[in-house]
Chain A
């Protein structure tokens, strides 16, 4: 079968007796419920009459009824025999994708299944070792023996921190538990982090210190608001169901929406057609805009005083522990210098007093810096509060990466503060949280060994080790990569790649024999000589981490190939059923880690199946937002396994944290966290005080020492030096990047393996404003080069001593920042949907080109340690015409914001 998309005009229907299994989409955080219909290819297909097919529907079916698109059909192996599968959204769904709605990603998820007749044929099916420069198939025993011997040697000779583990945080609780147990409990390396951050830190420091959970709200809450502020995302593009099932119906009923976004896509343009306020700001200026809106609210006395009085920490309460308590927060040094801490909203050291004293939050100054009309600031303040007239509207605040990855600490502080003065947090329709990215499949198998991290911020506290800087500094001798590309997934990626070249491919110690002892000896010499050995688990060979650098590749089994558990962005926990055989010898990551762990002499890796891993992990979920321990308790009471119990709950699952009432035998979920409307009787009826149930503070209160919210300052000067340095000079434009609807949390399948999506996006694109395009002679369909010689990156692992040591201008002055180059090719899309002066492209590269992340600064947030992935600049020039410009099959240059 061709990689080209071929439209089909018929599709088989599942017969009446097809087996039906439930699962959820593998991709975005929303995790829609799906049904898998399976029948042997040797059996007859279903027919068009209701009596002849598994849906019980007469075909043709009407709008919203069951239907099978050709992209929802595939052929897989099940127990060694070929079977048809049809995977369609669950038309009986009462939650999430109610009535069987779906996105373009999940809607076509059947294409993901391994089928050698499709572009999935290059799935990794056997363990590989690079011998004489070529990856060659070997036995599991050989691959694991070598990895274990080299791993043990590196730990013994160079210390645990020389063994770096970079893993996905989301790819099912069984796998994340197993890998993190291996890394944190047994290897005990501080050089450990997840796929989207250089160090193991929170994504939203401001939420954390305010006391807000990232995923406290229920999806329904977003639609129950009267006014919704949406920052750094268009939920229609990314988080589709939250928009189509919850936000859009509310907009139709009159919900006001306020959007902070430099660009406009379909959901935002729809909202605008219904009166939405689009604050089209420059990248990185959200803090300024939010601060100015808050200022207008407080100056006019429009804040929710009742809520503030009841739920915001005052002077003594704030002092009793910032964040989660002075002894307990990674940000403890901040308390020392009082950069964020307030005495509440009012008073001499209150938030209001501070805000009014900061010149940058004056509305005119703020509007000028952000490049927006000043009236929008006043309008937003009025909408969010009712402007002191009539009944206060229910306001909610949702954020995502465009927002929290552009000024990570400042933006998340500022949104927490504005939400708080507007009375949001912990009431139906009055919530604050992340909309989400990937699904939530992380369960910790060990404690991060913070004291082993050599990295220290000013003050007394150590910070989680920055694995990129550690690697660039030459300390990583073995890089164990689980399901991530590492290099492109970070930013300033060309510099990272060069270091991998130096440490791995340019090292003289390269394997040139199939003999086990020789391979082990060579790789040990590599590590001992200052080089680096790379282990890689994945489902496809990724370039460059797998294709160029991996010494050993472990083929992983994934979604649909094993029973797995995961939760979504409203903490909904479900079983993702195995419905077909993993390709070749591919194995789930938990199994791979277990074999490796046993060979390295670690105990506790004797699991027989994924349910056993899940059951072992459940107790580590207690107290978490997706605590699933009580599902296991209920299951065992009923003589079932945890997986069996979840299977019974189908696509509906249950929202964590879960509770079990021993008296009634009922399992209970949690609609929202910080639910200040819950009464004592509710807690009693859920059995929260009984047995193994764990009633966490965040169930009814906020995640702070007192259970009340910390309202925080959001000092612009912590970030302004970076922003000002970064600001486009000469012919540069802002370069920011992100996701697109068609490829969202699904890039690991879409970009090369779903012919339809590959046809839509064969290459990366860059949206450029018509004025900027005209000035450079660029038209839609032209190949352009985005390039920069101002890609700043940290060059050392350092200890902070003085208060400003991690401030960008100080790092620069002290020689810790170097300037690298970055470049990425893209097809131009000229559209006024993007702000003038700003370029927007997909963050990786759908084609074979350089990821556009190469243009983003590799400088971590001063406070949190996250990258501000959205901040970059580039020059852009035409380098030719693409073939897409004048053809009719691939891509489209029509704007995405047509209503």
Chain B
């Protein structure tokens, strides 16, 4: 089994720490564009004084959008980590609402799988803005909703885990997808032939 990057502990949780976390991930998640699966164990230091062992799957680095082209609360669709089954994902700039794993000057740009982690329901068109909340759902299958500001945690519903979050990297104005946190529905590994 592959253990992905450890989530930052609660007491250290902040947008700044997330930036750090994402930067660190970027360093080891950056690979070529080939979707070949290769795993290696590395030691990485996410936070001062803490070293964790992480098995790292090499994800493709994929250019998905330009920051300057994003409009507030208008999701952009893309596929990741490949074009196979259940790779459908969305990128969104959430109108200045800060998010865990958010990039950009306002830490409000995030990307998530569109595929519900309950039974694989498609959630295209289900992005919701309610006050300062940003939610994906209800899933048309069984009505699960996910909080996009909190790493896709289930707000309400039947999903077995958070919505897989696509890890992003900002390079100038270019936004790259560089990895995934959580297993895509229907897959036994995120990187596989389909």
Please judge, given known A-B contacts A9-B57, A10-B188, whether A60 and B86 are in contact too, CB under 8 Å: yes
Q: List the A residue with the shortest CB-CB distance to B81.
A: A9
Q: A270 to B99: give the CA distance in the assembly, Å.
A: 27
Q: Are A893 and B2 touching (Cβ within 8 A)?
A: no
Going nearest first, the 9 A-B pairs with the smallest beta carbon separation are: A888-B100, A63-B120, A887-B13, A69-B160, A7-B182, A60-B85, A10-B189, A60-B186, A896-B156
Q: Are A759 and B153 touching (Cβ within 8 A)?
A: yes
B95 within 8 A of A: no
Q: A666 to B158: give the CA distance in the assembly, Å.
A: 38
Please judge, given known A-B contacts A68-B188, A107-B118, A236-B143, whether A9 and B7 are in contact too, CB under 8 Å: no
Binds A, one of B60-68, B70-78, B131-139, B169-177: B131-139
Q: Are A240 and B100 touching (Cβ within 8 A)?
A: no
Measured CB to CB, the closest approach of chain B to A241, in angstroms, equals 9
Residues of chain B having any CB pair with chain A under 8 Å: 1-4, 6-11, 13-15, 18, 57, 84-86, 98-101, 117-122, 128, 130, 133-135, 137-138, 141-143, 145, 147, 149-151, 153-162, 164, 180-190, 192, 194
Sample of 10 A–B contacts (CB below 8 Å): A8-B1, A8-B4, A9-B190, A10-B190, A70-B183, A101-B142, A107-B158, A887-B10, A894-B133, A895-B155
Digit string of A231-269 for contact with B (CB within 8 Å is 1, else 0)?
Answer: 000001100100010001000000000000000011100
Q: List the A residue with the shortest CB-CB distance to B98.
A: A888
> Please, which residues of chain A bring their CB within 8 A of the CB of B117?
69
Q: Which of B150, B154, B155, B184 meets A898, CB within 8 Å?
A: B155
Q: A893 to B142: give the CA distance in the assembly, Å.
A: 21
Residues of chain A having any CB pair with chain B under 8 Å: 2, 4-13, 48, 59-65, 67-72, 101-104, 107-108, 236-237, 240, 244, 248, 265-267, 270, 741-742, 756, 759-760, 883, 886-896, 898-899
Q: Which of B100, B118, B192 meets A59, CB within 8 Å?
A: B192
Q: Are A888 and B101 touching (Cβ within 8 A)?
A: yes
Q: Which of A7, A59, A102, A267 meets B164, CB within 8 Å?
A: A7
Q: Are B151 and A888 touching (Cβ within 8 A)?
A: yes
Measured CB to CB, the closest approach of chain B to A269, in angstroms, equals 9
Q: Are A6 and B6 touching (Cβ within 8 A)?
A: yes
Interface of B is mostly: loop
Please judge, given known A-B contacts A7-B162, A8-B3, A64-B120, whether A886 and B14 are in contact too, CB under 8 Å: yes
Please judge, given known A-B contacts A67-B120, A67-B186, whether A60 and B164 are in contact too, CB under 8 Å: no
Q: Are B9 and A4 touching (Cβ within 8 A)?
A: yes
Q: A69 to B144: give the CA distance in the assembly, Å.
A: 16
Q: List the B residue with the shortest CB-CB distance to A830.
A: B131
Interface of A is mostly: loop
Contact count A vs B, C-beta below 8 Å:
199
Please judge, given known A-B contacts A6-B4, A64-B119, A892-B153, whether A103 and B158 are in contact too, CB under 8 Å: yes
Between A741, A760, A883, A898, the greatest number of chain B beta carbons within 10 A of the residue's beta carbon is seen for A898
Please judge, given known A-B contacts A9-B2, A59-B188, A883-B10, whether A104 and B145 are in contact too, CB under 8 Å: no
> Please, which residues of chain B bring their CB within 8 A of the CB of A65?
120, 186
Please judge, given known A-B contacts A4-B9, A889-B100, A898-B137, whether A70 and B119 are in contact too, CB under 8 Å: no
Q: Are B183 and A8 touching (Cβ within 8 A)?
A: yes
Q: List the B residue with the shortest CB-CB distance to A236.
A: B143
> Please, which residues of chain A bring their CB within 8 A of the CB of B145?
266, 894, 896, 898
Please judge, given known A-B contacts A62-B85, A899-B138, whether A266 and B183 are in contact too, CB under 8 Å: no
Q: Are A889 and B184 touching (Cβ within 8 A)?
A: no
Q: A154 to B84: give the CA distance in the assembly, Å.
A: 70
Q: A240 to B133: give the CA distance in the assembly, Å.
A: 25
> Please, which residues of chain A bring their CB within 8 A of the CB of B1?
8, 10-12
Q: List the B residue with the shortest CB-CB distance to A237.
A: B156
Q: Are A267 and B181 touching (Cβ within 8 A)?
A: no
